[in-house]
Amino acid sequence: MRPRPRPVDLPGVRKQLVAWIARQASEDALRWLQDRCAEIAGGAPVAKCFLAFSGAPRRIPKDTLALDETDLARASALRPGWNPANWSVDEAARALLVLSRPADDENAWIRMAEQLFSTADARESAALYRMLPLYPFPERFRARAAEGIRSNMASVFQAVAHRNPYPSEHFDEGAWNQMILKALFTGSVLHKIIGLDARSNPTLARMLVDYARERWAAGRAVSPELWRPVGPFAAERHLPDLRRVLRAGDEAEQEAATLALAQANAPAAGELLGAFPRLKQRIDAGELTWESFSRNRIEGMA
């Protein structure tokens, strides 16, 4: 199910961004940034905004924004689902510059954003996509976000797909399914996708199993994460595929297949699961979950 888009406390977001940037940028750089934001907020020509946006990393560090649990909780309070855990300081500065532009004229705002997107280099693109959940007029960015999913640059793709609540709130089923499939296709992990379980659907499950068979036919490996969105929609005809994983897969794949089977409604799923009592026991005891699997098998491998 598609969650409703959440409201953004924009003044709160801007204030919070300044506070975070101030911890890691020099005084001079922060002053430069705040001067540019004041100009932009005061209605400076849009060219000023473009130059400041492009030039931000010449002054603001590219280090990862140092955020603790309290900071992340604040982010989520300002915009439910907003998770800047992997933002860089200059990305935060770029967000601040863009969000300083007055949003009183919707079309003018969209024109500015479109020009930024259409002339962006790779890091700028990533920054622009990462701030999707913060934009005013979010519904105007659906086509643009789908374009980000088509990118062949992993950094740009992941800026849309990972730790970003926008796709789960705005993508229709077709765009959502393409995003999941493309993540697997390009070697991006699934568990960082917000709404992965909630937005799963029977069509996606079918596409994923087809994809797994295609990979096997080519003698290529299949990410065990593939079975997570399949699980709740695994039909009778998918059980031979899961049986294959349980018999021939490595430990991680076997864990993933049992987790999927444990969620499946197909009557024969329980029977198949029963043939693997050791894994079933770990699931029943709450030791093996998709969360523990992501932690130990996916992140542990990276």
Partner 1 sequence: MISRTTDDYEVMRAGGVAAVIEPAFWLGQPRTTVGAFKDYFSMIVGWERFRAAQFGVRHYCAIGLNAKEANNEPLADEVMELLPLYAAKEGVVAIGEIGYDDMTPAEDKYYRLQLELAKELDMLVLIHTPHRNKKEGTSRSMDACDDMGLAPDRVIVDHNNEETVREVLDRGYWAAFTIYPFTKMGNERMVEIVREYGPERIFIDSAADWGVSDPLAVPKTARLMAERGIPEDAIRAVTYDNALAAYGQSGQFSEKDWLEPAPIDQRDLYGGNSVLRGGQAPVVQEKGLIIE
User: Which residues of the chain form contacts with partner 1 (CB under 8 A)?
Assistant: 47, 50-51, 54-55, 57-58, 86, 88, 91, 115, 118-126, 152-155, 158-159
Half-sphere exposure of 133 (CA within 13 A, CB side): 29
Q: How far is the CB of 290 from partner 1 (least distance, A)?
A: 22
Residue 53 or 171: the one with the smaller Cβ distance to partner 1 is 53
Give 285 or 302: the residue with its C-beta nearer to partner 1.
302
Question: Least distance (Å) from partner 1 to the CB of residue 281?
Answer: 35
Angle CA(230)–CA(175)–CA(142) in degrees, nearest 5?
Answer: 145
Token pair recorded at residue 144: 């643009």
Query: Which is nearer to partner 1, 38 or 51 (by Cβ)?
Result: 51
Q: Are 229 and 205 in contact (CB under 8 A)?
A: yes
Polymer length of the chain? 302
Supply the minimum distance, in Å, between the C-beta of residue 163 and partner 1.
Answer: 11
47/285 with CB nearer partner 1: 47
Which C-beta is closer to partner 1: that of 24 or that of 177? Answer: 24
Are 132 and 145 in contact by the 8 Å Cβ rule? The answer is yes
Per the CB < 8 A criterion, the answer to whether 120 and 53 are in contact is no
Q: Who contacts 288 (Cβ-Cβ below 8 Å, separation ≥6)?
A: 255, 258, 259, 279, 282
Alpha-carbon gap, residue 99 to 78, rounded angstroms: 14
Residue closer to partner 1 (CB basis): 16 or 125: 125
Contact by Cβ (8 Å): 290, 228: yes
Smallest separation (angstroms) from partner 1 to the CB of 53: 9
- Shorter beta-carbon distance to partner 1: residue 5 or 57: 57
| Distances in whole angstroms, Cα of residue 101 to Cα of each of 48, 110, 121, 219, 271 | 11, 11, 21, 52, 59
By beta-carbon proximity to partner 1, the closer residue of 104 and 121 is 121
Please list, in sequence order, all residues whose beta carbon lies within 8 angstroms of the beta carbon of residue 143, skipping any fewer than 6 positions away.
none
Residue 131 C-beta: closest distance to partner 1, Å: 13
- CA dihedral of residues 124, 129, 131, 136 (deg, nearest 10): 110
Least separation in angstroms between CB 279 and partner 1: 31
CA angle 216, 222, 224 (to 5 degrees): 140
Is 243 strand, coil or helix? Answer: helix
Q: How far is the CB of 130 from partner 1 (least distance, A)?
A: 9
Q: How far is the CB of 251 from partner 1 (least distance, A)?
A: 25
Residue that has been written with the tokens 């977001």 in this structure: 13
